[in-house]
């Protein structure tokens, strides 16, 4: 009888392979429990298993090559953070979550990271950001908001700073009307409809109030890991984030030449060029921000179909993401060329 040809299995890596890799990277504190923690946090996907059938038992858990490569990347970054700054777990975990989520956002299916893993990574990141480490750090964050968006003649800056610091530190959703009143005093104290920032990307009291409250509300949703954020909402958020970033890169030269940035140089840092490293380090926060405005997007029926969440929720669109590394033609001072990430997105109707 002729034996049927069966395609070979893709590369599989079991727990022993992951531990061997950790030893080779001199990560001596990594043990079996570390792997289980990584899975729980969403840094690794759940191991896959083969189920032969009733009474046949199951194979040991294994991970595909993409997850094994992710494991190596995470261990290297973890080791670097520990050795460079003596970073504590509270600093390391969010950084590792950003690696996972950035791979899913910017490389799409090619990254080999399923959405179920991204959900857990975002929940871990949100929980790690539930409380700022100290009231002092919260006050610095509040002062940064006031300095960036505030009018030169804004009154009661100290009271607003304390209110914002408490919001940042505790992570409690503020009273929207009270916060809007205070933001109007901060941005437009004379009630003249003034906004601060370049045209098309300026801060208004309404925008600041919405961003603060909706981010905190979504942060709490992610912390709870509630299932009412369906897959389509995540797909919509990823596409919207990629499109927004592409649009910003095209508009950036015009934004940087806007007269308002000459008048308010404290805002210029918000519109600087981004490297892949800065994109990666902020991706969880950026994805949180997009998810936070989903409700507003659902009410904006004037938007093109691809920007309306309900189209993605109904499974009518699929985004195919392709990314590659490009090298800048501009030489840095050390005569090295800076690399950056090119991303293309192709939409397909289903």
Domain count, the chain: 3
247 and 218: one domain? no
Reply yes or no on whether the pLDDT at 134 is more than 70: no
Q: Distance between CA atoms of 151 and 157, rounded to whole angstroms?
A: 10
Separation CA 51–CA 61 (nearest Å): 11
The domain in which residue 70 lies consists of 12-128
Please report the sign of the dihedral spanned by the C-alpha atoms of residue 103, residue 108, residue 111, residue 113: positive
> Are 214 and 116 members of one domain?
no
- Domain identity same for 188 and 109: no
Q: Indicate the residue among 98, 128, 158 that finishes a domain.
A: 128
Please give the mean pLDDT across all residues of the chain.
84
Q: Are 179 and 246 in a shared domain? A: no
In this predicted model, which residue has the larger pLDDT, 242 or 59?
242
pLDDT, position 118: 97
170 assigned to some structural domain: yes
- The residue among 197, 223, 249 that closes a domain is 223
Residue identified by tokens 């190596």 is 72
Q: Are residues 345 and 235 in the same domain?
A: yes
Residue 234 domain flag: yes
The pLDDT-based confidence of 2 (bands split at 50, 70, 90) is very low
User: Could you count the other beta carbons within 10 Å of the beta carbon of residue 280?
Assistant: 19
pLDDT above 70 covers a percentage of the chain that reads 87
Give mean pLDDT, residues 174-194.
Answer: 89
Q: What pLDDT is attached to residue 6?
A: 43
Give 107-120 as a DSSP string: HGGGG---HHHHHH
The continuous run of DSSP H or E covering 265 comes out as none
341 and 241 in a single domain? The answer is yes
Domain end call among 103, 128, 153: 128
| Contact status, residue 301 vs residue 308, Cβ threshold 8 Å | yes
Residue 7 lies in a domain: no
User: Residue 123 domain-assigned?
Assistant: yes
Cα–Cα dist 284/124, whole Å: 10
Is pLDDT of 104 > 90? yes
Question: And the tokens for 51?
Answer: 């189920």
Q: pLDDT, tens digit, for every residue of 138-173?
A: 888 888 888 888 888 888 888 888 888 888 777 777
- Does 3 reside within a domain? no
Q: Between these two residues, 120 and 253, which has the higher pLDDT value?
A: 120
Same domain, 233 and 302: yes
In a domain, 2, yes or no: no
> In sequence order, what are the residues at sequence separation of 6 or more whose Cβ sits closer than 8 angstroms to the Cβ of residue 219?
126, 129, 130, 171, 288
Most confident of 116-120, 250-254, 311-315, 318-322: 116-120
Examine the domain organization and report whether 24 and 121 are in the same domain: yes
Tell me the CA distances in angstroms from 304 to 298, 307, 324, one per residue in order. Answer: 11, 6, 28
At 5 the pLDDT is 46
Distance CA 210, CA 289 (A): 11
Same domain, 122 and 27: yes
Cα separation, 101 vs 225, in Å, equals 16
Decide if 140 is inside a domain.
yes
The tokens describing 322, both together, are 């392709």
pLDDT of residue 47 exceeding 90, the answer is yes
In a domain, 6, yes or no: no
Q: 43, 96 in Cβ contact below 8 A? A: yes
Asked if residue 109 and residue 82 are part of one domain, the reply reads yes
More confident residue, 335 or 239: 239
Task: In whole angstroms, give the CA distance from residue 257 to residue 253.
Answer: 6
Q: How far apart (Å, rounded) are the C-alpha atoms in residues 63 and 48?
A: 6
Which tokens go with 202?
């300026």
Q: How would residue 111 be classed by pLDDT, with cut points 50, 70 and 90?
A: very high
Among 17-21, 256-260, 321-325, whose mean pLDDT is lowest?
256-260
pLDDT at 325: 75
83 falls in which pLDDT band (50, 70, 90)?
confident
204 & 298 share domain: no
Give the residue-averaged pLDDT of 245-258: 77
How do residues 62-72 score in pLDDT, each as one tens digit? Answer: 999 999 999 99
Contact assessment for residue 111 and residue 104, using Cβ atoms and an 8 Å cutoff: yes
């Amino acid at each position: 009888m002729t034996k049927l040809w069966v395609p070979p299995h893709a590369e599989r890596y079991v727990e022993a392979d992951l531990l061997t890799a950790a030893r080779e990277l001199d990560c001596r504190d990594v043990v079996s429990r570390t792997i289980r923690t990584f899975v729980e946090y969403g840094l690794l996907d759940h191991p896959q298993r083969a189920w032969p059938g009733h009474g046949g038992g199951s194979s040991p858990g294994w991970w595909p090559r993409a997850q094994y490569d992710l494991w190596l990347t995470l261990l290297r970054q973890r080791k670097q953070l520990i050795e460079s700054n003596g970073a504590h777990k509270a600093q390391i975990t969010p950084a590792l979550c950003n690696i996972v989520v950035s791979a899913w956002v910017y490389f799409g299916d090619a990254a080999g990271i399923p959405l179920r893993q991204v959900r857990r990574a975002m929940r871990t990141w949100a929980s790690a950001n539930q409380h700022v480490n100290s009231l002092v750090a919260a006050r610095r964050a509040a002062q940064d908001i006031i300095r960036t968006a505030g009018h030169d003649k804004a009154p009661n800056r100290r009271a607003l700073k304390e209110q914002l610091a408490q919001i940042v530190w505790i992570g409690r959703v503020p009273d929207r009307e009270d916060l809007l009143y205070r933001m109007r005093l901060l941005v437009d104290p004379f009630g003249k409809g003034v906004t601060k920032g370049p045209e098309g990307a300026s801060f208004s009291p309404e925008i600041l109030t919405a961003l603060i409250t909706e981010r905190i509300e979504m942060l709490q949703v992610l912390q709870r890991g509630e299932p009412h954020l369906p897959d389509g909402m995540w797909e919509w958020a990823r596409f919207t984030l990629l499109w927004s970033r592409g649009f910003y890169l095209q508009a950036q030269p015009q934004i940087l030449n806007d007269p308002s940035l000459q008048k308010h140089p404290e805002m210029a840092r918000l519109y600087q060029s981004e490297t892949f490293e800065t994109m990666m380090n902020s991706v969880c926060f950026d994805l949180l921000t997009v998810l936070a405005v989903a409700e507003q997007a659902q009410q904006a029926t004037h938007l093109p179909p691809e920007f309306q969440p309900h189209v993605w929720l109904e499974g009518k669109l699929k985004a195919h993401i392709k990314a590659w590394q490009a090298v800048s033609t501009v030489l840095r001072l050390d005569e090295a060329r800076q690399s950056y990430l090119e991303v293309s997105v192709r939409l397909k109707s289903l």
